[in-house]
């Protein structure tokens, strides 16, 4: 396409005032990036301290807990982006669940309307929409802060739940939705479950490995595509080298599977490592512009300081891990055994050390490519050394296996990044075609990783059942959660309504000035929140059968916390629905993780508060960075 070429040239020539932003810098601009990193870090933390946390059972637990919280967090995020709060959202979940049960239930003279569910459920949705409309209209008509208006609605709902429950069924709990007409049909929609142990899939591990390995490979290639300058003419020798390396990688995996002794493992590992390096180099040689001027190794004071500090910290971590006695397990501080202290020292010091080394690499990259590559190579060696230390010192097979291979893969990636970045020119200008390819590769890669993980979560194998795996079940509420998050993200990013939401939250007067119907947009946002509350109320009702009249009261702050953790600004106008979903997952991980790791669940709130503060600080920092780097 000739058009493609001309845009590329235009892109390259017209940006003398604006520096090109690198791939990682561009990623940092997303509001939810802090939350994603946080979610991964917290998950690894609990995975490290508790054995069953990393299994399908742990995952189903987290997803189940995040579903109801997440549906609300997504809706509340949208409302907060629009600049308003809804304190009645928690109470509304319970109220709408109870309303549905009362409409369905038939208890003789006094209680219940005894309607068929196919009538009752739309009716309660209408009630939900009315509550949202009421909130929105009150806020707009009175121009009072939504905090006050919805606080009023909160008390009204709370009181109405209690009062009506007592009036109708003379109890503070309203129950037995399963006695209603049409229950069996609607149960499928709101409460069906997937029993993992009933679904065996022989070649599951094949698909899992394919998804994870292939997906990550594509993600790495996507980063390359984003980061390096493209060749004008492709180099076929490079393509051939890539193909050879690919074959080598497959051979390595075959060796690993075929042999079962240490020697075979080492051989397979080395073959895979070498072919990865060769493959990435070949890929670069095929597609990217070679470095014209290598330059000399130049290490300035800043770089050596960061690297010295980093190496020192890593060494300290290693020494503390080796010297502290791993056999003793006496409690000496709160819940922490000496072994725990050892682990914390090790993880804390080494991760701080690696962070400093990464900072060093960034500083080195400003001098010349060779210095940067040398720094990366040192980093890779350090990570590999840590991996071997973990393997030799750790008592738990999880760490000997999973952590060892993860660290080795990390080291390998850093090393290949070092090799390729010393050989190829980094892109300093926008290139639309390369960006599009990169985006496509990243998308396919993420889908493959996701697919691999989902296959592993949903299916079991005969071998696993033989070993006696504990059952895990996935509720349909997870599907609801994911769909709500997906639709909300699309609506916010791609529709008029989404644009208007950001506008009324960011600067209401300016939005109104250009013809955005601000009052209508806000009212619709309140109605979205109350519809989400309706959905959550139904999910709860079908799960629990009987709802207490206090159901949901006080949870509105958890929704707001999840939204804020997900990167939504308290003052409105900035944030994302997807971030709210991730925020909910973070809270669910901490909720599920604390009992899993055998601590008293009273500590949950301390943890929650800590996460909230950390998240707000981190989000502020990232946003400032992002704004400054544009």
Partner 1 sequence: MTAPTLEIENISKFYGNINALQDITTSVDAGKVTCVLGDNGAGKSTFIKILAGAHKQSEGTIRMDGEEVNFNSPRDALAKGIATVYQDLAMVPLMSVWRNFFLGAEPTKSFGPFKWIDVDTAKRVAKEEMAKMGIDIRDTEQPVGTLSGGERQSVAIARAAYFGAKVLILDEPTSALGVKQSGVVLKYIVAARQRGLAVIFITHNPHHAWPVGDRFMILNRGRSLGNFAKDEITRDELVTMMAGGAELEELTHELESA
Site residues for partner 1 per CB under 8 A: 11, 14-15, 18, 430, 490, 494-496, 499-500, 502-503, 506-507, 509-516, 573-574, 627, 630
If you search the block for the tokens 């590769």, which residue do you land on?
A: 441
Q: Which residues pair with 460 in a beta bridge?
A: 200
Sorted by sequence, the CB contacts under 8 Å of residue 149 that are 6+ apart come out as 135, 138, 139, 142
- State the nearest-atom distance from the C-beta of 514 to partner 1, in Å: 4
DSSP for 546-599, please give it: SEETTTTTTTHHHHHHHHHHTT--TTSS---HHHHHHHHHHHHHHHHHHHHTT-
Alpha helix ranges (H) inside 33-116? 33-49, 56-81, 89-104
User: Of the two residues 398 and 496, which places its CB atom closer to partner 1 in the complex?
Assistant: 496
Question: What span, in angstroms and rounded, lies between the C-alpha atoms of 522 and 505?
Answer: 9
**CA within 13 Å, CB half, 503:** 19
The CB-of-513 to partner 1 minimum distance in angstroms stands at 5
* Shortest separation between residue 576's beta carbon and partner 1, angstroms: 12
Rounded least distance, CB 399 to partner 1, Å: 43
Between residues 194 and 429, which has the closer beta carbon with respect to partner 1?
429
Q: Please, which residues have CB within 8 angstroms of residue 446's CB and are 6 or more apart in sequence? A: 215, 219
Helix, strand or coil, per DSSP, at residue 475? strand
User: Does residue 572 contact residue 81 with C-beta atoms inside 8 Å?
Assistant: yes
Distance CA(43)–CA(36), nearest Å, equals 11
In whole angstroms, how close is the CB of 505 to partner 1 at the nearest point? 8
Q: Is 227 or 551 the residue whose CB approaches partner 1 more closely?
A: 227
Closest distance of CB 21 from partner 1, Å: 9
The distance of closest approach from Cβ of residue 510 to partner 1 in the complex, given in angstroms and rounded to an integer, is 5
Residues facing residue 43 across a β-bridge: none
Pick between residue 361 and residue 563 the one whose CB is nearest to partner 1: 563
Rounded Cα distance between 579 and 616, Å, is 13
Q: How do beta strands 331-333 and 547-548 pair?
A: unpaired
* Nearest distance in Å: CB 506, partner 1: 4
Nearer CB in complex with partner 1: 166/494? 494
Joined tokens for residue 28: 């940092």
Q: How far is the CB of 515 from partner 1 (least distance, A)?
A: 4
Smallest gap, in angstroms, from Cβ of residue 492 to partner 1?
Answer: 11
Coil/strand/helix, residue 194? strand
Measured between its terminal Cα atoms, the distance across the chain in Å is: 30
Could you tell me the two tokens for 322? 């080796």
Cβ nearer to partner 1, comparing 398 with 630: 630
In the complex, least distance from residue 431 CB atom to partner 1, rounded to whole angstroms: 13
Residue number, 108 or 515, with CB nearest to partner 1: 515
d(CA 99, CA 157): 11
User: Nearer Cβ to partner 1, position 23 or 385?
Assistant: 23
Query: Are 268 and 259 within 8 A, CB to CB?
Result: yes
Closest alpha carbon to 616 in 578, 561, 572, 554: 561
492 vs 533, beta carbon nearer partner 1: 492
Q: How far is the CB of 198 from partner 1 (least distance, A)?
A: 36
Q: Which residue has the tokens 């072994």?
A: 339
By C-beta, is 250 or 487 nearer to partner 1? Answer: 487
Tokens of 299: 């290490």
Report whether 245 contacts 282 (CB < 8 A). Answer: yes
Nearer to partner 1, 23 or 119 (CB): 23
Closer to partner 1 by Cβ: residue 247 or 487: 487
The continuous run of DSSP H or E covering 504 comes out as: helix 496-506
């Amino acid at each position: 396409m000739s058009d493609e070429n001309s845009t590329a040239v235009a892109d390259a020539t017209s940006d003398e005032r604006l520096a090109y932003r690198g791939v990682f810098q561009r990623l940092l601009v997303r509001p939810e990036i802090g939350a994603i990193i946080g979610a991964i870090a917290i998950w690894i933390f609990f995975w490290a301290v508790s054995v069953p946390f990393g299994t399908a059972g742990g995952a189903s637990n987290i997803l189940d807990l995040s579903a109801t919280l997440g549906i609300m967090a997504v809706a509340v995020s949208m409302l907060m982006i629009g600049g308003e709060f809804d304190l009645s959202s928690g109470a509304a979940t319970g109220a709408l669940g109870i309303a549905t049960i009362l409409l369905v239930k038939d208890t003789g003279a006094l209680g219940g309307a005894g309607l068929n569910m196919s009538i009752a459920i739309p009716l309660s949705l209408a009630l939900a929409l009315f509550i949202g409309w009421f909130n929105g209209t009150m806020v707009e008509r009175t121009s009072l802060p939504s905090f006050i208006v919805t606080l009023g609605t909160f008390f009204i709902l709370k009181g109405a739940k209690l009062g009506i429950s007592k009036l109708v069924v003379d109890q503070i709990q309203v129950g037995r939705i399963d006695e209603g007409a049409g229950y069996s049909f609607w149960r499928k929609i709101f409460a069906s479950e997937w029993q993992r142990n009933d679904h065996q899939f022989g070649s599951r591990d094949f698909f899992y490995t394919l998804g994870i390995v292939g997906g990550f490979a594509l993600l790495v290639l996507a980063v390359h595509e984003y980061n390096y300058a493209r060749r004008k003419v492709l180099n076929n020798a490079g393509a051939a080298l890539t193909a050879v390396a690919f074959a080598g990688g497959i051979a390595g995996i075959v060796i690993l599977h075929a042999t079962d002794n240490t020697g075979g493992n080492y051989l397979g590992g080395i073959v895979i490592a070498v072919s990865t390096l060769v493959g990435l180099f070949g890929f670069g040689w095929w597609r990217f512009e070679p470095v014209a001027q290598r330059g000399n190794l130049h290490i300035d004071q800043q770089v050596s300081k960061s690297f010295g500090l980093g190496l020192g910290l890593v060494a300290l971590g290693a020494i503390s891990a080796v010297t502290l006695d791993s056999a003793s397990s006496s409690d000496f501080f709160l819940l922490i055994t000496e072994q725990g202290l050892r682990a914390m020292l090790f993880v804390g010091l080494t991760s701080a050390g690696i962070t400093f080394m990464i900072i060093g690499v960034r500083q080195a990259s400003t001098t010349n490519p060779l210095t940067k590559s040398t720094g990366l190579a040192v980093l890779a060696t350090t990570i590999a050394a840590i991996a071997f230390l973990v393997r030799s010192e750790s008592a738990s097979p999880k760490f000997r296996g999973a952590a060892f291979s993860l660290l080795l893969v990390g080291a390998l990636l850093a090393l290949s990044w070092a090799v390729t970045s010393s050989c190829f020119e980094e892109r300093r200008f926008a290139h639309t075609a390369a960006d599009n390819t990169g985006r496509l590769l990243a998308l396919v890669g993420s889908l493959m990783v996701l697919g691999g993980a989902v296959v592993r979560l949903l299916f079991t194998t005969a071998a696993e059942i033989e070993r006696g795996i504990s059952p895990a079940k996935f509720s349909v509420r997870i599907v609801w959660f994911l769909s709500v998050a997906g639709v909300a993200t699309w609506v916010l990013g791609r529709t008029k309504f989404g644009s208007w939401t950001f506008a009324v939250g960011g600067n209401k007067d300016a939005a109104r000035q250009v013809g955005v119907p601000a009052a209508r947009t806000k009212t619709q946002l309140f109605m979205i929140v109350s519809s989400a509350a309706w959905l959550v109320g139904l999910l709860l009702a079908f799960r629990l059968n009987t709802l207490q009249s206090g159901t949901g009261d006080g949870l509105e702050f958890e929704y707001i916390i999840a939204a804020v953790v997900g990167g939504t600004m308290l003052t409105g106008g900035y944030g994302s629905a997807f971030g709210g979903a991730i925020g909910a997952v973070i809270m669910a991980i901490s909720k599920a993780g604390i009992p899993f790791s055998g601590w008293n669940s009273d500590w949950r709130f301390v943890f929650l508060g800590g996460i909230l503060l950390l998240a707000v600080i981190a989000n502020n920092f990232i946003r400032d960075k992002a704004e400054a780097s544009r």
